[in-house]
């Protein structure tokens, strides 16, 4: 399916982003492919992903710190876990120390005479060290002298008395050419204190070389990757790392990196980068995707499909074409072995205003038939066809995450109750509107909403009064599982969640959905018997062994390749 393009000028309000081509696709997969295409062709495109925000708000917003729990959680997750890298063998040659006796004259000429406070109650960094020059002058030891003497009296494993020559800038360049950045940092940690000027200098030179040559993967899955990411975020230079993540299909990590940037720079609009524009594009596409006229379908990630109601000029009202295209779309998705998760959203200012009364008037108000019996049969057939529009979501074995912003009215509630996971923005509201237009909801709300919320009294109240239910109440009663501050954040969260689900065995995930729906509609004994029969065959999958082995090796499932289903 073709993905809608949007011209570069519409991006200029957000960031200086000059493209060699006139149009640029909004989906992440297209962004990634375009970047790869540029690299292969060697084209020179100017991409200023992060721009300073001279017009940012003057309001003081707390800035995240490195030690904050959320920051540490993000850095840990984007670091990843590559067991081959973590446990790779390191050759370490052990050499015995060499001692040489010196005369008093040689000692004074080379080192002077040093007096040291050897109080065991004082930590080495706080010791006061006095040096006596050969002339008899007493002075405070320099930092280099302090480090050398402390290492002699209180030796630290792996630390040399004098810094190895590898840390000289000309030698570092040679080592960097051999891609030994991790070795340099390991030796740097052993040799210098973290607050020393030498430590900071080596660290900055290493990070700058990594960034300059785009060799981010050399530090991925090491203890230094989080520091690298933090350094780039603080310097507002996440461009290269973001592109690297997109090229490696690490989309959840890219989402986390953008989230970290937002935490560290809350006042700045520098977050307006192509990735966020791509996420925004998931809900602001250029139009329907042929052959559909009401739906936009794209692939923000290799195994994630994004479906969007795309009638923003009509407030995403559900017309005749929509009811038919939903069935075709989800029937195709159900058979698509590439797709493992679906994200569903609405374009424009709101999710959906519900049924398009003007477009559906002929079916509802003027049904065909020669007499009451035949009219009734035709109406029944029409209603059954409309019911299938949302039942097809349940029948699709792929988990469906629905992201709601703004209004979700009438048929919108029917739709979202057929989805597996419901997210919304803080400004979202829900309304079972049917009684206000003179009918009982007949395509899913009255059947599914009681099972979603669990409170029959609340369902009755919503259905009888047609009152609005806002995001906080929807969260508290269980209609949605998460509430986000705005649409862009919600779409990023939906994408991250979809990526997490897609990384797991499709046999396990799709089997779980099938059995959850079956158990909802049957007794416990019937559901147990069903899962018993189901797993009788589904346990005979290679995915089980792959997942178990990954768990034993403490390896992320993102590093496991599962066959298509």
Distance CA 186, CA 175 (A): 13
Q: Please, which contacts does 225-229 make with residues 24 or more away whose CB atoms are closer than 8 Å?
A: 225/75, 225/78, 225/79, 225/80, 226/72, 226/75, 226/76, 226/78, 226/79, 227/203, 229/75, 229/78, 229/79, 229/257, 229/260
What average pLDDT score do residues 26-44 get?
41
Return the sign of the alpha-carbon dihedral for residues 28, 31, 36, 39.
negative
Q: Find how far residue 84's CA is from the centre of its chain.
A: 24
DSSP letters spanning 48-111: --S---TT---S--PPP-TTSHHHHHHHHHHH---HHHHT----------------HHHHHHHT
Task: Report the candidate in 474, 458, 546, 478 with the shortest Cα–Cα distance to residue 508.
Answer: 546
Residue 448, token pair as written in the block: 């599914």
Average pLDDT for residues 334-339, to the nearest whole number?
92
DSSP label at residue 371:
S
Q: Is the pLDDT of residue 17 over 60?
A: no
- pLDDT value of residue 110: 61
Long-range Cβ contact pairs of 532-535 (< 8 A, separation 24 or more): 535/511
Domain 282-501 has CATH 3.60.21.10: no
pLDDT (mean) for 294-316: 91
Torsion angle of C-alpha atoms 333, 337, 339, 340, degrees rounded to 10: 110
Tokens at 111, concatenated? 């080192």
CA–CA separation, 125 vs 258, rounded Å? 38
Examine domains 282-501 and 504-559 and report if their fold is the same.
no
Buried b (16+ CB within 10 A) or exposed e, 27-54: bbbbbbebbeebeeeeeeeebebbbeee
Place of tokens 């416990």: 524
Total length of the chain: 565
Residues forming the active site: 355, 411, 414, 434, 442
Nearest-angstrom CA–CA distance, 351 and 316: 7
In this structure, the strands spanning 304-309 and 421-425 are unpaired
**pLDDT the model gives residue 11:** 26
CATH, domain 504-559, list 3.40.50.720, 1.10.12.10, 3.40.50.300, 1.10.10.10: 1.10.12.10
- Region 483-505: mean pLDDT is 91
Distance between CA 112 and CA 147 in Å, rounded?
15
How many other β-carbons are positioned within 10 Å of the β-carbon of residue 361?
10
Q: How confident is the model at residue 165 (pLDDT cuts 50, 70, 90)?
A: confident
- What is the structure's pLDDT at 198? 86
For the chain, give every domain's residue range: 1-82+225-277, 104-153, 282-501, 504-559
At 538 the three-state DSSP class reads: helix
* Global confidence as pTM: 0.57
304-309/400-404 β-pairing: unpaired
Give the C-alpha separation, 288 to 279, whole Å.
Answer: 17
Residue 94 has what pLDDT?
62
Q: Where are the alpha helices (DSSP H) in 503-556?
A: 506-520, 524-538, 542-552
Beta-ladder partners of 5: 25
Exposure b/e, 209-234, CB count within 10 A at least 16 = b = bbbeeebbebbbbbebbbbbbbbbbe
Host H or E run for residue 409: strand 407-409
Q: pLDDT tens digits for 363-383?
A: 666 777 778 888 888 888 888
**Three-state secondary structure call for residue 351:** coil
Which residue would you say has higher pLDDT here, 116 or 64? 64
Banded pLDDT at 48 (limits 50, 70, 90):
very low
Residue 352 gets which letter from DSSP?
B
Region of poorest pLDDT, from 21-25, 233-237, 316-320, 527-531: 21-25
Whether the pLDDT of residue 269 is over 70: the answer is no
Please say if the pLDDT value at position 85 is more than 90. Answer: no
Q: What CA–CA distances, in Å, run from 210 to 182, 229, 348?
A: 11, 11, 40
Average pLDDT of the chain is 79
- Whether the Cβ atoms of residue 260 and residue 77 lie closer than 8 Å to each other: no
Residue 44 preceded by cis peptide, ω within 30: no
Percent of the chain beyond pLDDT 90? 38
CA-atom Rg of the chain in angstroms: 31
CA 424 to chain centre: 17
Report the helix count and the strand count for the chain, using DSSP H and E. 23, 14
Which one-letter DSSP state was computed for residue 54?
T
User: What average pLDDT does the segment 329-350 reach?
Assistant: 94
Identify any residues that bridge with 526 across adjacent strands, giving them in sequence order.
none
Section 88-97 average pLDDT: 66
Assigned token pair, 49: 């992903």
DSSP letter at 355 equals B
> What are the b/e assignments for 105-124, b being 16+ CB within 10 Å?
eeeeeeebebebeeeeeeee
Residue of 502, 522, 511 lying closest to 562 (CA atoms): 502
Q: Tell whether omega for the bond before 434 is within 30 degrees of 0, i.e. cis.
A: no
pLDDT at 454 over 60: yes
Instruction: Tell me the sheet residues that pair with 423.
Output: 403, 482
């Amino acid at each position: 399916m073709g993905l809608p393009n949007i011209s570069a000028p519409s991006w200029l309000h957000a960031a200086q982003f000059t493209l060699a081509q006139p149009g640029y696709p909004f989906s992440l997969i297209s962004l990634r492919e375009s970047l790869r295409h540029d690299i292969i062709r060697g084209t020179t495109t100017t991409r200023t992903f992060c721009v300073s925000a001279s017009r940012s708000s003057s309001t003081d917003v707390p800035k995240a710190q490195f030690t904050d729990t959320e920051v540490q959680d993000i850095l840990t997750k984007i670091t990843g876990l590559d067991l081959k890298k973590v446990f790779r063998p390191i050759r370490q040659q052990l050499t015995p120390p060499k001692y040489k006796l010196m005369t008093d004259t040689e000692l004074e000429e080379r080192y002077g005479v040093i007096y040291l406070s050897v109080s065991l109650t004082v930590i080495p960094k706080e010791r006061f060290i006095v040096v006596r020059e050969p002339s008899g002058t007493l002075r405070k030891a320099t930092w280099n002298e302090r480090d050398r003497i402390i290492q002699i009296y209180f030796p630290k494993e792996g630390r040399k008395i004098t810094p190895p020559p590898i840390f000289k800038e000309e030698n570092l360049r040679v080592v960097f050419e051999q891609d030994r950045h991790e070795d340099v940092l390991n030796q740097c940690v052993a040799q210098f204190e973290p607050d020393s000027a030498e430590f900071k200098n080596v660290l900055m030179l290493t990070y700058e070389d990594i960034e300059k040559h785009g060799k981010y993967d050399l530090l991925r899955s090491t203890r230094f990757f989080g520091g690298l990411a933090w350094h780039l975020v603080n310097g507002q230079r996440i461009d290269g790392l973001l592109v690297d993540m997109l090229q490696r299909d690490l989309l959840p990590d890219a989402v986390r990196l953008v989230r970290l940037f937002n935490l560290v720079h809350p006042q700045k609009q520098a977050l307006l980068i192509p990735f966020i524009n791509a996420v925004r594009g998931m809900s602001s596409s250029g139009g329907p995707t042929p052959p559909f006229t009401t739906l936009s379908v794209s692939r923000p990630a290799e195994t994630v499909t994004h479906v969007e109601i795309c009638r923003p000029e009509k407030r995403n009202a559900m017309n005749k074409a929509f009811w038919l295209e939903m069935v075709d779309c989800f029937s195709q998705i159900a058979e698509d072995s590439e797709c493992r998760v679906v994200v569903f959203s609405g374009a424009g200012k709101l999710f959906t205003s519900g049924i398009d009364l003007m477009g559906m008037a002929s079916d509802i108000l003027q049904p065909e038939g020669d007499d009451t019996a035949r009219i009734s049969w035709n109406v029944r057939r029409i209603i059954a066809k409309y019911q299938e529009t949302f039942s097809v979501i349940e029948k699709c074995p792929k988990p469906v995450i629905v992201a709601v912003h703004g209004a979700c009215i009438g048929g919108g509630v029917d739709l979202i109750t057929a989805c597996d996971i419901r997210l919304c923005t803080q400004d979202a509201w829900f309304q079972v509107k049917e009684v206000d237009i003179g009918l009982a909801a007949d395509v899913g709300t009255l059947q599914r909403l009681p099972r979603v919320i669990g409170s029959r009294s609340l369902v009755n109240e919503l259905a009888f009064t047609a009152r609005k239910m806002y995001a906080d109440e929807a969260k508290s009663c269980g209609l949605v599982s998460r509430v986000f501050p705005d649409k862009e954040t919600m779409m990023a969260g939906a994408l991250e969640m979809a990526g997490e689900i897609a990384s797991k065995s499709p046999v396990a995930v799709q089997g779980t959905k099938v059995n959850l729906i079956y158990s909802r509609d049957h007794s416990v004994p019937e559901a147990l018997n069903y899962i018993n029969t189901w797993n009788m065959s589904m346990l005979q999958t290679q995915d089980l062994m792959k997942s178990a082995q990954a768990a034993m090796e403490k390896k992320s499932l993102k590093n496991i390749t599962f066959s298509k289903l």
